[in-house]
Amino acid sequence: MRNTGNRARSESARIGRRGEAKQRRSSEDGMVTAEFAIITPVFVFLGFVLTSLILLGWQHVAIANEAREIAREVSIKGETQLAAQAEGSGADVKMSLDGEILTVTVRRPGRGIYSWVDMELTGQHRVVMEPGSAHSARGLGNE
C-alpha cells in the first residue's frame, strides 16, 4: 500500500511540474516574439549599413582605378581620351605636371545613398612621364 501512495504523490507532483513548465513555456513564447520584434529592425539596419559601406569601398576603388588608367594613358601615349570620357560622364579630372611627375586627380559625386548627402569621392594617381610622350603637345603644362 505504501508504494501506491508514493506513486500517487509522485504522479501528482510530476503533473504539477508539467503544468508549471507548460505555463513557463507559454510565457517564454511571448518573450521570444517580443525579442524578435525588437531585434529584427536592428539586424536589418546593420545589414543596410554594411551594404552601404561595401558599395562606398567599391566606388572608391573604381575612381582610383579610373585615375590610374588616365595617368597611364597620358604618360605613355600623351593622349587624354580617357580623361575626356570621364569628364563626359560627370567626373572632374585635374592633371598637373611637376617636372616629369604627372598627377591625375579624379573627383566624382557619390552614387546611391551617398548622393543624398552630396558626398564627393576622389581618386589620385602619380606617374612618371615616359620619354618621348607628347604631353606638351596635348596641353599638359605645370598647373
pLDDT at position 3, please?
59
Domain count, the chain: 1
DSSP codes joined into one string, 43-105: HHHHHHHHHHHHHHHHHHHHHHHHHHHHHHHHHHH---HHHHHHHHTT-EEEEEEETTEEEEE
Element (H, E) at 114: helix 113-116
Residue segments in the chain with a per-residue pLDDT below the cut of 50: 136-138, 142-143
Is 42 part of any domain?
yes
Q: What is the pLDDT of residues 112-139, one digit of tens each?
A: 888 888 889 999 999 998 877 665 434 5
Q: What is the pLDDT of residue 137?
A: 38
pLDDT at 45: 95
Asked whether residue 134 is domain-assigned, the answer is no
User: Do 45 and 38 form a contact (C-beta atoms < 8 A)?
Assistant: no
Domain that holds residue 8: 2-128
Residue with cell 560627370: 90
Q: In the predicted model, what is the mean pLDDT of the chain? A: 81
Is residue 135 assigned to a domain?
no
Tell me what pLDDT residue 79 has: 83
